[in-house]
Chains A and B, each alone.
Chain A
Amino acid sequence: MNKELKILAVVVFFSILTYVGVEPFAHSQMHKHVDDPTYAYADLKDSGKKGDAVKGKELVTGAGACTGCHSLKAESLPAPMDALTSASAYGVNPPDLSNSGALYDEKFLADLIKNPAHALGVEHKFKDGAMHPMVGFYGAGGDIDQEIADMVAYLKSIAPTAENLTPKDAFESACGRCHSMRYDKWSKIGTDPSFKSDKEMYEYKAKVATYDEALKAYMGAMPPDLSIIIRARSHHFLSTFIENPQSQLEGTSMPRVGLTKDGEVKVMEYLTQIGDSSKDKRESLGPWVILFFVIFSVIAYFWKQSMWKDLH
């Protein structure tokens, strides 16, 4: 017995050595180190102003012009243009703003309203006078920082609480204009309908293709489908990438999205629901299967002992 354990120790030692070498160690050398996300957006300044949601509402739906481009379902304000027309005008369909207050960091929102290319971290793409499709807010006559704080306060006041924001809504608002999710029938311009005829299907597909074409031209790269990105990238990669895409892929055309920690958790939850739908079942079945084999081994051990008892 003693000897068997020594042999086992040798086998385990070399197996672990190999494992550590080809997995954790090799990966630590292959991928650059990026610190865990902090969601601090430390490069953005806090104006320190306290916003007034009532004034903010007037600005968002009026002088701020936000609803001139964005829909606001929370206030039953439809999008001024449909997704395809928007895409041909801006390259991408501006997202609905109902959930913005819950998803995005306050400092980020304020900076986004003032200077979108800066907040989104895509200034390198809009040099030499090229304009970001979301026009910055130039002020409505008063203190611009106060006005922005008012709008942010308003967006937060209409946003659902963390419990009421579904993971799917979080994804559609934050990522859905650029990324499809084909395992959940999401095609950037909406959820795929069921088709009554081939003609309907081809017409719809043509719309999606037209949108994709505009999006690709605007972004410079086609944003990938995210159906099982949760299995294709580590959790660490995704969270750091979402906080700041440049940290992981220098020069990537994906903008910084500006999510709060809660917002990121919601988006990840959705990516897990769709891309790793067996996670819960795996975790609930696992212990039982392992327990079965523990009992099996114990019984087998006694069988072996009884078989070998009069051999030595």
Chain B
Amino acid sequence: MANFEKAKSLGDWMNQRLGLDTVMRVMAYEYWIPKNINFLWAMGMILAMMFGVMLVSGIFLLMYYKPDAALAFDSVNYTIMTEVGYGWLWRHVHGVAASVVFLVIYIHMFTGIYYGSYKKGREMIWITGMLLFVTFSAEAFSGYMLPWGQMSYWAGMVITNLFSFGSLELNGVVEWIRGDYVPGDAFILRFFMLHVLLLPLAIMALIGLHFGALRIPHVNNQDGEEIDFDEAAKLYKEGKKKESKVIPFHPVFLSKDVFVMGVFLIFFFYLVFYHYGFALDPVNFDPADGLKTPAHIYPEWYFLWSYEILRPFSKDIGLIAFGFAQVAFFLLPFLDKSPNAVPASRRGLFNIWFWVMLVDMIVLSVMGKLPPEGAWNVIGLLSALTFIGLWIALPIITKLEKKV
């Protein structure tokens, strides 16, 4: 048995039992982050914070929401929005956060791609990140079903239909997922369960894994510099802060993160109070009606690019392209054959690849929302082909890349 002494303070008492000092040292005071990073490295902590915001606001909503096809709509739009004190605030916070979190995820992902942060030992960070992307997507989709508006119903219909796998016509699978022939009570309840239990649990576990995956390779830096962390940490601890290339996670790295979070929250609450229409789609304020197809059915903005990869093709080819788009990003660390983990600006052809990919995904997103007619269809098809072409080209152009 370990040796316990009479504690000098509450902190000391806890420390003897929980080893808090050690925990704080390992997790914070001596968790080393490179000094040469910019605010894009705060996006990860913003995501962690936003998940916390969604969890808290979600718990408040959960106290009044009713997962029942007959009651869901009014429990959200009447009970929560008008009867519950500040219910409207929790709902706006939750809804806007769900949308903005994807903006931050995309910035976080493209930061990783730009700086090559998925290479040289950081593959698992990337893969757990992609798993987070997928579970977040499922979380957002299942949450979107809950108010049981027109878009909940029809997006639910269209997306679950994908599981008939085109010409395979596996309608039994679709019915199994829905628990009924069309979305209804069983459908709401199971998506409710996924949204408030299973997926949040999975997300929490994955965030833990994602953080764990960062530990050994450490985060990358904006110059693609390979840092000897032990050496640099030694310098820092000796007080040679200027010479050392690293800073501790807490309080130095975090002080910058907190500032970036503050600025981000100004923007976020501006959206919550004054500009929420993009996140709480007006069409979803019409109650679900299985007999009345809305004029335009489209997913939330963050799914538009993959929706547009599905749409311009015939049914089966579209599904294959869609499936391809979902796995392509997972494989990025293995499709990129270059030995360089440096910023894209120093990687020649890859630099072009990066910016074309970014613009192409924006074009796809816009086309995914527009009605599939005339010129929009052609642009949509071309940008979907560009997307696929870029992934095929990636191993080739990165193979040709010279070591810098």
Which residues of A approach B to under 8 Å, CB–CB? 3-4, 7-8, 11, 14-15, 17-19, 21-23, 25-26, 29-30, 182-183, 224, 227-229, 231-234, 277-278, 281-283, 285-286, 289-290, 293-294, 296-297, 300-301, 303-304, 306-308, 310-312
Contact = CB atoms under 8 A, between A and B. Distances in A.
Contacts of B304: 22
B130 interface: no
A289 B273 CA distance: 9
Given A21-B365, A289-B273, A311 B82 contact: no
B286 interface: yes
Contacts of B251: 307
A9 B366 CA distance: 21
26 contacts: A7-B38, A7-B39, A11-B107, A17-B362, A18-B366, A21-B369, A22-B278, A22-B368, A23-B277, A25-B366, A26-B369, A30-B371, A183-B78, A228-B77, A232-B283, A277-B81, A278-B88, A282-B88, A289-B272, A290-B266, A290-B270, A290-B273, A297-B265, A300-B255, A303-B255, A311-B247
Given A22-B301, A277-B81, A14 B255 contact: no
Interface stretch (B56-64, B256-264, B316-324, B392-400): B256-264
Contact of A232 (B35, B92, B285, B371): B285
A278 B362 CA distance: 34
A311 B241 contact: yes
A147 to B, nearest CB: 44
Contact of A183 (B82, B272, B274): B82
B89 A308 contact: no
A140 B107 CA distance: 75
A8 B43 CA distance: 12
Contacts of B313: none
Contacts, number: 133
A192 to B, nearest CB: 14
B262 A311 contact: no
B262 A14 contact: no
A312 B270 CA distance: 35
Interface string B118-159: 000000000000000000000000000000000000000000
Contacts of A21: 362-363, 365-366, 369
B255 A297 contact: no
Interface in B230-269: 241-242, 247, 251-252, 255-256, 258-259, 261-263, 265-266, 269
A303 B366 contact: no
Given A22-B304, A30-B371, A312-B242, A4 B269 contact: no
Contact of A4 (B39, B296, B362): B39
Interface residues of B, number: 54
B172 to A, nearest CB: 35
Contacts of A23: 277-278, 301
A30 B370 contact: yes
A283 B366 CA distance: 31
A7 B40 CA distance: 8
B103 interface: yes
Interface in B184-209: none
Given A23-B277, A277-B81, A286-B273, 12 more contacts: A7-B40, A8-B39, A18-B362, A26-B366, A29-B376, A183-B78, A232-B282, A278-B89, A283-B273, A293-B265, A297-B259, A307-B252
A18 B365 contact: yes
B358 interface: yes
Most chain B CB inside 10 Å of its own CB: which residue of A7, A229, A300, A301: A300
A104 B363 CA distance: 47
